[in-house]
Amino acid sequence: MIEQTTHKMRLMRLSQMAMSLEERFARGELRTLSCEELLSLLVDDEWAARQNRKLKRAITKADFRPEGACLENVIYNAKRGFTKQDVQVFRTAEWIRAGHNVLLFGATGAGKSYLAEAICVEAYKLGYSVTKITFKHLLEEIRRARATGQYLKFAENIKKTGVLLLDDFAMATLGENELADVAEMLDERTQRRPVVVTSQYPMEAWLERLPEATMAEAVCDRLKHNAYTFKLKGESMRTPKTATKATGDE
């Protein structure tokens, strides 16, 4: 009976439900559970498995780093510039709905990219889409889109994504026209959808690295408005003593 049922479940692509039923049968749980309790548990197991697979596909598509960033594995230490309490806000969707940006500053190896990805993984879990792109790649895509007549489509995709992760901000040279495009994209997202930004440079240094002072100031104002700001400090998380841990190296 159990074998026939699990076979049919697998034919209907309910593989986790079938596996769960087999395991619960082997443990003798079917004798102690009511029909309603058993059905609820099986559905929960199938749902959780599908959500985990969906999350893994999304993370792979976003090209997140292989160490698998998550808030649970972040090293929380006030000496790093933030505590565990500081990131609890990202476990709910309120910051996303309110369009609050997140700015993470720090030297190479400080863990800002890891923390940014961990925050975005939480956004995935809450059902929001995430697009990760480096500042250099963003400029390359803008140039390519302009050259092929696909700019409006590209800009619309950037505008619509639930959370935009912009890595290594101000780490590439750009012209005034490209800065104008970046400013426009950020303006479309202001107070609607958040941007998570990482940068080795403090915001005051952006004004020196970005062309056209007035537009550079506008970009800074859009990003820092209602933003959560983290200035990561301390030793590099890439040192040998932490190299074997998935705990927030950048």
The answer to the question of residue 66 being in a domain is: no
31-40, 66-75, 193-202: least confident range: 66-75
The answer to the question of residue 247 being in a domain is: no
- From first CA to last CA, the distance across the chain in angstroms is 52
Predicted pLDDT at 246: 38
Residues 55 and 104 both lie in one domain: no
Query: Residue 11: which domain range?
Result: 2-61
Query: In this predicted model, what pLDDT tens digit does every residue of 142-171 receive, in sequence order?
Result: 999 999 999 999 999 999 999 999 999 998
189 close to 161: Cβ distance less than 8 angstroms: no
Residues 174 and 220 both lie in one domain: yes
Mean pLDDT of the chain: 85
Residues 113 and 217 both lie in one domain: yes
CATH number of the domain at 220, please: 3.40.50.300
Tokens 């092929």 — which residue?
A: 148
Q: What's the domain count of the chain?
A: 2
The answer to the question of residue 249 being in a domain is: no
Q: Is 173 helix (H, G, I), strand (E, B) or coil?
A: coil
pTM: 0.73
| 52/35 Cα distance (integer angstroms) | 26
In this structure, what token pair is assigned to residue 61?
A: 């598509």
96-100, 106-110, 112-116, 146-150: least confident range: 106-110
Helix axes 176-189, 151-160, angle to 10 degrees: 40
Residues 87 and 211 both lie in one domain: yes
The answer to the question of residue 187 being in a domain is: yes
121 close to 129: Cβ distance less than 8 angstroms: no
163 close to 123: Cβ distance less than 8 angstroms: yes
| 183/177 Cα distance (integer angstroms) | 10
The answer to the question of residue 102 being in a domain is: yes
Residues 128 and 191 both lie in one domain: yes
Residue with the larger pLDDT of the pair 28 and 105: 105
Residues 80 and 39 both lie in one domain: no
Instruction: Show which of 36, 61, 86 is a domain's final residue.
Output: 61
Given its phi and psi angles, is residue 248 left (phi above 0), alpha (psi -120 to 50 degrees) or beta?
Answer: left
130, β-bridge pairs:
163
Residues 15 and 121 both lie in one domain: no
| 136/87 Cα distance (integer angstroms) | 27
Residues 157 and 212 both lie in one domain: yes
Instruction: Show which of 16, 35, 61 is a domain's final residue.
Output: 61
Residue with the larger pLDDT of the pair 30 and 246: 30
Instruction: Show which of 38, 61, 84 is a domain's final residue.
Output: 61
